[in-house]
Amino acid sequence: MKLDSQTCVVTGSSRGIGKGIATELGAHGANVVVNYRNSEREAYDVVDAIEADSGSAVAIQADVTEGDEVEAMADRVQNAFGPADVLVNNAGITIDKKFEEMTREDWDAVMDVNLGGVYNCTNAFFDDLKDADEGRLINISSVVGQQGNYGQANYAATKSGLFGFTRTVALELADTGTTANCVSPGFVKTDMLDKVPERVQNKILNRIPLDRFADVDDVACIVRFLASEDSSYMTGQVLGVNGGMEW
């Protein structure tokens, strides 16, 4: 599953799952674009880690909700590595509240990043992916999009929306040989999970047949497979990486 000279753009990759994906792709030969919004130092730390492992990477700031910034990022990718071969739409946020307490601003903010950002980035790199020899669009969703989750109506709606988006774009790209797939992680050991109270974490663990939370590497390895030529006959799929949780 080597990715030699493939240009891979990973949004929101300064930390968490995105960081794991970026370093995994870099370790397998890809030229990695580490996108970030505010976490500049962390993004350059990811670049340093990839380069220390003999990989190639650049950090590029862009707010995925701003179309102009995303288009500027696409130009910088072209200048640094040439056209993109792989786009991983990973950037996302949560604003958790019960629906009856959720404001329209809370709703719109999550929609703007988790779906609007996917539109902006896919639009900016669409021609690159379509024209690539092994073009890959990989969207990062969540088990919450499949099951729902208390206090996350906005987040669940966006992550569920990625399923329909992925399937549709997969059909539209199929005659070019470019694929589009969706990875739907369960609960992953990240800063986001650390903020969940221990009693709630224990309840979640009771629903996971493998009886553990995912490591970031569990997700990153699946993304690496989807980015490689080994996945060339898989498109329009949702891959649940959730330890056996039903959905």
| pLDDT of 179 | 98
> What residues contact 218, with CB distance under 8 A and at least 6 apart?
185, 188, 241
Task: State the Cα–Cα distance between residues 158 and 132, nearest whole angstrom.
Answer: 28
Query: What is the rounded CA–CA span in Å between residue 199 and residue 29?
Result: 41
Quote the pTM value.
0.96
Give whole-number Cα distances, 68 to 61, 115, 218, in Å.
Answer: 12, 16, 34
Close Cβ partners of 48 (under 8 Å, ≥ 6 residues apart): none
Q: What does the pLDDT read at residue 169?
A: 98
Nearest-angstrom CA–CA distance, 11 and 60: 10
Indicate which residues carry an active-site annotation. Answer: 155
**Containing H/E element for 155?**
helix 153-173
C-alpha gyration radius of the chain: 17
> Of 9, 25, 189, which is closest to residue 90 (Cα–Cα)?
9
Locate tokens 């990625």: which residue?
162
Tens digits of per-residue pLDDT, 120-148? 999 999 999 999 999 999 999 999 999 99
Residue 247 is predicted with a pLDDT of 63
Domains of the chain with bracketed CATH = 7-238 (3.40.50.720)
Angle, vertex CA 224, rays to CA 174 and CA 25, nearest 5: 120
For the chain, which ranges sit under pLDDT 70? 1, 247
Q: 143 in helix, strand or coil?
A: coil
